[in-house]
Amino acid sequence: MLIDVPQEYYLILSAMMFVIGSVGVLTRRNAIIIFMSIEIMLNSVNLTFVSFAAFMGDTAGQIFVFFVMAVAAAEAAVGLAIVLALFRNKKTIYVDEVSLMKW
């Protein structure tokens, strides 16, 4: 029988991906890069879901990943439309130069 990788390794990999994504959100100023870092974080959670689903031999986790992907697609459409509207009004997409909602 083929020996598989222990599940802890998948969890460690997904934790590292989540760290990279959160560092990207907190350090970058370009709104599109922040958006891509959020996608990395969503994907790390998806990897956790898939590894738990596989090691439990269950379908439920994979269905949740399916839903997360649908929400990510909706988020991509609306988020990029917001970035375009922001660029049209402010001529910048650097989040530190947009302080409209900051008091």
Partner 1 sequence: MSLSYLFFIVLGVLAIASAIVTIAHKNPIVSAMSLVLHFFMLAGLYLTLNAQFLAVIQVLVYAGAIMVLVVFVIMLLNLSDEAQLKEKLNFRKIIAAFFALGLITQFTTMYMGVSSKNAFLPPQSIEAGKAQSIGKELFSHYLVPFEAISLLLVVAIIGAIVLSKRRYE
Contact 40, 14 (CB under 8 A): no
Binding residues for partner 1 restricted to 49-78, rule: CB under 8 A: 50-51, 53-60, 62-63, 65-67, 69-78
Nearest-approach distance from CB 44 to partner 1, in angstroms: 9
Nearest-approach distance from CB 1 to partner 1, in angstroms: 7
Nearest-approach distance from CB 98 to partner 1, in angstroms: 14
β-strand partners of 94: 30
Residue 100 as a binder of partner 1 (CB under 8 A): the answer is no
61: left (phi over 0), alpha (psi -120 to 50) or beta: alpha
Q: Identify the CA nearest to 93 among candidates 38, 22, 34.
A: 34
| Out of 85, 90, 97, 102, the residue judged to bind partner 1 by CB under 8 A | 85
Give the integer Cα–Cα distance in Å for 21 and 58.
28
Binding residues for partner 1 restricted to 19-38, rule: CB under 8 A: 19-24, 26-30, 32-33, 35-37
Amino acid letter for position 97? E
